[in-house]
Structure 1
Amino acid sequence: MAITTLCAVVAALRVLPDRAQFLQYESVSLSCEQQGGSPDWRVKRNTSTKTNQECSSETTDRSCCFIQDLYPLDTGVYWCESAAGGRCSDTVNIMVTGGFVILESPVLPVTEGDNVTLRCRTKSTSNLTAGFYKDGLLIGSSFTGNITVPGVSKADEGLYKCNVSGVGGSSESWLTVRGRPEPPPPPPDSPLAGFLLPVVGTCLSLVLLVLLVLLCLWRNHKGKVDPDVSYTDVTITQQAQTNRIRDATAAPTFYSTVKPGNT
């Protein structure tokens, strides 16, 4: 049974308890969920007697459906759909048996790496010896009625069932494995930080470049002799100046007497 309406998958159908198979007279709760608020959702189903019909419930919230007593006629495909149409959830397959054995396996997809426990249950016995099968092949037996598949991967997808010796077997249920979601990206830097960091980096580079050029010029100037300056002439001139001072000190001093004139 399939959905006849094409729509964009934007919601999720939650099933409590989370399992695909139920015994007759058990109960189940179905609800529509969507992050960021939800529009006017409806739980709908396709069964052997109802096609594209709402799942009736005693509550006024039509996005939830609670079935008190399940019957084999409730076996079918269930999903959420917006009242206006065009939006829906993935479908889930629920099976109700009037027999004695069911396999308790997740009805919703499991995530890669998770440990998945499968339980074989009968109406009257809780602890029993059961064999478990995947795609018709025996994968293990248990004296407690349950086994765990550790760290599931896409290779573990398939049809599962169980069998209790002397009691009977369950129906098959499909196990869906989805990839683990990628971690969210780190939050982006603020616009101011994104602008300032390149500017500061450029300014520091320019300052370092200018300092390097000045250092090179200073070192070149310190180790270079100016060809226009004669250091020998300076020495001679200083010596000549010293000699002149010495000669001036040693020379005799002459005084001139001026006689006053007659009055």
Structure 2
Amino acid sequence: MMEASPQYLLFSCLLICCITTEVSAVHLTVSPSRSQFFEFESVTLICEDENRSDGWTVRSNTTRGVGKRCGDEWGEAAGSTCNITLFTFDTGLYWCESGSSNSSCSSSSSCSSSSCSIQLSVSGSVILQSPVLPVMEGDDVTLSCRARNPTHNLPAAFYKDGSFIGDGSAGSMTLLHVSSSDEGLYKCSISGSGESPSSRVSVKASNSTVSD
């Protein structure tokens, strides 16, 4: 039997956590609140817990390694906060884990003390500014395409799941009254500057649409 890779085990554990835990004890916030960044930008990741303000650490799954904690070869840790100056190889998954958790994610107990993960992407040329967390059904969502060194305002082309969905004047497009059909992987491109990575837009049902 083929042995599962560490990356596969980690992803499976995080997925089980997200599916089985209706309300996570801790959640990861990103400041500024977006999922894509230019290389050399700074970002702050904060583990927030309703029950206690400390005792959590930020871990990542990137090309630097699997399950490495903030302050171990990447980032600067200050309690449950992690400050990062980003490089392209910092693209990957980030999540919070309690000090008692097993970073290898080899048991169900370590999953129950972890937050669900957030995907961050780092680009040297073009980024798509989109919500890093799920948006509420019925809300309007604005996607913005930015080039690192724009010479002038150019229309940006937007794509969902690899298919062209339209041009945005001044580099922006608004999705009106989003629903589950708007969920997917979005990216954008600017002529002469390049293409952004893809980021997922997720939509959660509003309370008024949840059946008993």
**TM-score interval, smaller chain:** 0.7 to 0.9
What is the CA–CA distance in structure 2 between the aligned matches of 1:168 and 1:72, rounded to whole Å? 15
After superposition, what is the alpha-carbon deviation per residue over 1:110-164, rounded to whole angstroms, capped at 9, x for unaligned?
Answer: 1111111100000122732111111122222122101111111111000101111
TM-score by length of 1: 0.63
Q: Is the 8 A contact 1:39 1:82 kept in 2?
A: no
**How many residues matched?**
180
In angstroms, what is the RMSD of aligned CA positions? 2.1
Aligned equivalent of 1:117: 142
Distance 1:59 1:170, change over 3 A: closer
Aligned equivalents of 2:47 and 2:117: distance in 1? Answer: 11
Among 84, 87, 94, the residue aligned to 1:78: 94
Greater relative contact order, per chain length (Cα 8 Å cut-off, separation 6+):
2
Secondary structure, aligned partner of 1:19: coil
Asked if the contact 2:27/2:49 (under 8 Å) is kept, the reply is yes
Q: Tell me which protein shows more strand as a share of its residues.
A: 2
4+ residue runs of structure 1 moved beyond 6 angstroms? none
Structure 1: which 5+ residue stretches go unaligned? 184-263
| 1:60 aligns with one of 67, 78, 84 | 78
Q: Which residue of 2 aligns with 1:190?
A: none
Q: Deviations 1:166-198 (Å, cap 9, x if unpaired)?
A: 322111111111112469xxxxxxxxxxxxxxx
**CA distance 1:45–1:176, shift in 2 (3 Å):** same
- 2:157 matched to 1:131? yes
Q: Which of these two proteins has the greater Rg computed from alpha carbons?
A: 1
Are the counterparts in 2 of residues 19 and 106 from structure 1 also a CA contact under 8 Å?
yes
Query: What is the TM-score with the length of structure 2 in the denominator?
Result: 0.77
Report the secondary structure of 1:88's partner residue: coil
The amino acid across from 2:160 in the alignment is K
Q: Is the partner of 1:52 in helix, strand or coil?
A: strand
> One-letter code of the match for 1:65?
C
1:10 counterpart = 2:25: yes
Structure 2: runs of 5+ lacking an equivalent? 1-6, 102-109
1:29 to 2:44 alignment:
yes
Aligned to 2:58: 43
CA distance in 2, matches of 1:60, 1:21: 23
Matched, 1:155 2:181: yes
